[in-house]
Amino acid sequence: MKKLGLCLGSGAWRGLAHIGVIKSLVKHQIKIDYIAGSSVGSLFGGFFAAWQDIERLEKTIQEFNYKKLLEILSDPYLHSGLIKGEKLQAFFNDLLSSCKIEDLPIAFIATATDLLASEPFYFEKGNLAQGIRASISVPFAFTPVKFQHKLLVDGGLTQPVPIGILRQKGAEVVLAVELYTQNFPFQHDIEKLSFLEITRISQTAMLAQIARRDMIKADLLLTPKLDDDWSNPIDLFKKFLDNQATATINIGEKIMDENIDKLFNLLHD
């Protein structure tokens, strides 16, 4: 059987669909040889690569609550970002037992963006929690991660679907999950959009265009159809914490179930 690389794209709360995709792969006993993640894809992909237990990951998400969220985010800095991020990385380290990327049972790459070089940076070794922390560091919200004379922020800015690195590592079949392009063409009432919603749509349009550049390189591309009300950031956090988490996970599982035969044929061709 050919070696499978799983590419988990960026996309904020939509990334819960990644958990569903992995659930389906585990259910159908499909071996994952490599995982590359960007932003939220790095978060869930990294935890699965470390734990190899999708039920544990799903349970951890479902048990997450507002109190824990406030504890993690109560780390104000107000200089290069609203949140310093040290508590977040410590939280990840605690859950991941401070493991190193090179020691993971599944080969894993966390994708960040090097602001100083204006290019992607790939964590292929070192502390897993730090790699994830850099990959999800949305500018303005979190301070950048200083690492090896680099200034690292969210990987989705330059590589929302990091397919190429999987090819370089040896993946013969790449399954990619992309979470931006399904939002377009835009269907909402443009007369009622706030400036914040316009900002979010603009950012998503930019990331969708970058994603289109790379997603054609996948052997099998999944673009789960997810609702997006373009609401404020507080509502986005609530999607992680309320029952929509399970609904989004189920959407990811369903689209992978529907494409499992295609993947099986690619792996055995």
Catalytic residue among 39, 42, 135, 137: 39
Question: In angstroms, rounded to a whole number, what is the distance separating the alpha carbons of residues 157 and 203?
Answer: 9
- Helices and strands, number each (H, E), in the chain: 11, 8
Question: In angstroms, rounded to a whole number, what is the distance separating the alpha carbons of residues 220 and 98?
Answer: 33
Looking up tokens 């599944």 gives 106
Total residues found in the chain within this entry: 269
Type of residue found at 30: I
154 carries an active-site annotation: yes
Question: In angstroms, rounded to a whole number, what is the distance separating the alpha carbons of residues 185 and 196?
Answer: 19
Q: What is the DSSP string of 145-185?
A: EEETTEEEEEGGGT-SS--HHHHHHT-SEEEEE--SGGG-S
Catalytic residue among 33, 154, 219, 228: 154
Q: Which two tokens stand for residue 65?
A: 């609550």
Looking up tokens 């090179």 gives 102
75 carries an active-site annotation: no
Residues carrying an active site annotation? 39, 154
